[in-house]
C-alpha cells in the first residue's frame, strides 16, 4: 500500500460512516421523471421490433404492470409499461409497500417481489470530484448493480419474476449513470461529503418559483418538468435526437460513470462554493446543454444495451 493510499484510506475511514448516512438521507431522486422518460422514449424509438417485444413480455410479468396501464391515456400499452418502468425505482420511494433498510422495519413481501427494500444505494456511486481511488468503497453501488442487473435481464434461464424485477431497475439506472452528480461528490476539509451536491444550496434565478434549491436537485430538473409526458415527451425526444447524434461507442457502465464523474469534476459546480452561489446565465446554458446531451446519450445506449441483451 503506497503512502498516498494509506493516507487516503485513513481519510475515508473517517468519512465513510458519514457517507453511509447518505444512503439513508439521500433526498433527491435522480434525473426527475422527465429525464428518465426522455431517455426511455429515445430508447424505445431506437429499439427494433424483436427487442421491443422481448421488453414488453418481461415487463408484463411485473407485479405493477396493471397499475402502470392506468396511466396509459390511450398510448400503446408496451410503451406505457416501458416509460413507467423507467421511473419505478424512484416511485417506490413514496410507496408504503416498501421500506428503507436501516431506518424502517421490513414490510411484508408482496407476490412477485424478492422483498420490499427500496435499495436507495443502487442509484449512485460516491466518487470525490477531482480524484478518486478505485479501491475505495462507496456507499452507493450503481456501478456494480448495472452489471448485475444486465446479466439477469439477458439470461433467459432466469426466473421470469427475477427478470421482471431487474428490468425497470436497469432502465432507470442507465439514466442515473448519466447524471453527473450521481457519480461524484465534493468533500470538505472536514472529510464530509456534500452527497452529490444534495448538501449544496444554490440560488437559481432561472426557476423563479423555486429559486433556492440544492445543486443536485438543480441538475435533476434540467431535462424538463417532472410531468412531461404524452405528445410533448415524444416531441422533446425527437428534438434531442435530431440535435445529438448517436455516441460513437455504446461503452460500458464503467465508462458512462467515468464520463459523469469527469463532467461533475469540471462542470457540475458553480465557481463560488461558499454561501449559496447564484447560477449565472453562462453556467445555466452549459448545464442545460450537458443535461440534454446526457439524457439523449442514455437513451441511445439503453436501446443498444437492451438490443444486445434481448434480441
Output DSSP code: residue 194.
Answer: -
If you search the block for the grid coordinates 421491443, which residue do you land on?
52
Backbone angles phi, psi at 247, to 5 degrees: -60, 150
* Least CB distance to Zn ion at residue 189 (A): 29
Cβ proximity to Zn ion: between 176 and 259 the closer is 176
Piece of the chain touching Zn ion by CB under 5 A; list 3-11, 17-25, 29-37, 214-222: 29-37
Per the CB < 8 A criterion, the answer to whether 272 and 162 are in contact is no
* Least CB distance to Zn ion at residue 33 (A): 10
* Integer Cα distance of 72 and 159 in angstroms: 27
CA distance to 37, 94, 231, 260, per residue, from 99 (Å)? 25, 9, 34, 29
* Least CB distance to Zn ion at residue 44 (A): 19
* Least CB distance to Zn ion at residue 84 (A): 14
CA distance to 18, 24, 176, per residue, from 257 (Å)? 22, 22, 9
Piece of the chain touching Zn ion by CB under 5 A; list 6-14, 28-36, 46-54, 149-157: 28-36
Cβ proximity to Zn ion: between 12 and 88 the closer is 88
Cβ proximity to Zn ion: between 30 and 149 the closer is 30
According to CB under 5 A, which one of 84, 176, 221, 297 is a site residue for Zn ion? 176
Per the CB < 8 A criterion, the answer to whether 311 and 48 are in contact is yes
Cβ proximity to Zn ion: between 52 and 199 the closer is 199
* Least CB distance to Zn ion at residue 242 (A): 27
* Least CB distance to Zn ion at residue 172 (A): 6
Per DSSP (E only), the strands in the chain are: 201-203, 212-214
* Integer Cα distance of 183 and 138 in angstroms: 10
Total residues contacting Zn ion by CB under 5 A comes to 3
Check residue 194 for interaction with Zn ion (CB under 5 A). Answer: no
CA of residue 261 relative to chain centroid, distance: 13
CA nearest neighbour of 192 among 22, 5, 2: 22
Check residue 30 for interaction with Zn ion (CB under 5 A). Answer: yes
Cβ proximity to Zn ion: between 30 and 41 the closer is 30
* Least CB distance to Zn ion at residue 180 (A): 14
Per-residue binding string, Zn ion, 108-127, x by CB under 5 A, is ---------------x----
Cβ proximity to Zn ion: between 81 and 120 the closer is 120
Cβ proximity to Zn ion: between 98 and 283 the closer is 98
Dihedral (Cα; 126, 132, 137, 143), 10-degree rounding: 60
Binding site for Zn ion (CB under 5 A): 30, 123, 176
Amino acid at each position: 500500500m503506497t503512502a498516498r493510499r494509506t493516507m487516503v484510506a485513513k481519510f475515508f475511514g473517517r468519512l465513510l460512516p458519514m457517507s453511509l448516512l447518505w444512503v439513508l438521507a439521500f433526498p433527491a431522486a435522480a434525473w426527475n421523471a422527465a429525464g428518465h422518460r426522455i431517455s426511455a422514449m429515445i430508447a424505445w424509438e431506437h429499439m427494433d421490433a424483436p427487442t421491443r417485444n422481448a421488453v414488453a413480455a418481461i415487463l408484463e410479468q411485473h407485479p405493477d404492470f396493471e397499475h402502470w396501464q392506468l396511466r396509459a391515456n390511450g398510448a400503446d400499452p408496451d410503451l406505457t409499461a416501458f416509460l413507467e418502468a423507467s421511473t419505478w425505482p424512484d416511485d417506490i420511494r413514496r410507496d408504503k409497500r416498501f421500506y428503507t433498510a436501516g431506518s424502517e422495519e421490513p414490510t411484508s413481501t408482496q407476490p412477485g417481489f424478492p422483498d420490499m427494500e427500496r435499495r436507495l444505494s443502487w442509484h449512485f456511486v460516491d466518487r470525490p470530484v477531482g480524484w478518486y481511488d478505485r479501491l475505495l468503497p462507496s456507499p452507493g453501488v450503481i456501478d456494480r448493480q448495472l452489471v448485475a442487473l444486465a446479466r439477469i435481464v439477458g439470461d433467459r434461464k432466469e426466473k421470469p419474476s427475477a427478470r421482471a424485477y431487474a428490468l425497470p431497475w436497469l432502465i432507470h439506472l442507465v439514466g442515473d449513470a448519466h447524471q453527473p452528480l450521481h457519480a461524484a461528490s465534493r468533500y470538505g476539509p472536514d472529510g464530509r461529503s456534500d452527497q452529490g451536491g444534495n448538501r449544496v444550496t444554490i440560488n437559481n434565478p432561472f426557476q423563479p418559483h423555486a429559486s433556492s434549491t440544492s445543486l443536485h436537485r438543480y441538475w435533476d430538473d434540467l431535462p424538463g418538468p417532472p410531468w412531461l409526458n404524452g405528445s410533448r415527451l415524444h416531441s422533446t425526444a425527437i428534438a434531442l435526437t435530431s440535435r445529438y447524434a448517436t455516441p460513437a461507442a455504446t461503452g460500458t457502465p464503467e465508462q458512462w460513470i467515468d464520463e459523469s464523474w469527469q463532467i461533475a469534476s469540471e462542470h457540475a459546480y458553480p465557481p463560488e462554493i461558499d454561501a449559496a452561489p447564484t447560477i449565472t446565465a453562462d453556467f445555466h446554458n452549459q448545464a442545460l446543454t450537458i443535461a440534454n446531451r446526457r439524457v439523449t446519450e442514455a437513451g441511445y445506449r439503453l436501446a443498444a444495451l437492451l438490443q444486445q441483451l434481448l434480441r
